């Protein structure tokens, strides 16, 4: 499963503050962070990459092996 690293990246700021600074709705960010979002719009991923100053998508998205975590 793919997972966004928003929580780790935002550190000291709240989801609402991140929302205000990026223009992405807070509930959308919250769903993306919790892994309950149905999709990740490319424009949101782009905005987050720019906001956090990331150079590689692996700094924002990681693969988590669900089978390994269930065992």
Task: State the pTM of this model.
Answer: 0.88
- What is the pLDDT, as a whole number, of residue 69? 57
- What is the pLDDT, as a whole number, of residue 68? 64
| Best CA proximity match to 45, nearest among 29, 64, 34 | 29
* Cα gap 40→29, rounded to integer Å: 10
Domain ranges across the chain: 2-61
| Best CA proximity match to 51, nearest among 8, 22, 16, 15 | 22
- What is the pLDDT, as a whole number, of residue 67? 74
Could you tell me the fold of the domain covering 2-61? 434 Repressor (Amino-terminal Domain) (1.10.260)
φ/ψ (deg, to 5) at 64: -115, 120
Mean pLDDT by 10 residues, the chain (71 residues): 95 96 97 95 98 97 80 54
């Amino acid at each position: 499963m793919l997972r966004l690293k928003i929580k780790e990246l935002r550190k000291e700021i709240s989801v609402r503050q991140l929302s205000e600074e990026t223009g992405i709705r807070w509930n959308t960010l919250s769903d993306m962070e919790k892994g309950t979002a149905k999709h990740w719009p490319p424009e949101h991923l782009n905005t987050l990459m720019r906001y956090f100053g990331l150079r590689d998508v692996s700094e924002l998205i990681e693969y988590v092996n669900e089978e390994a975590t269930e065992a």
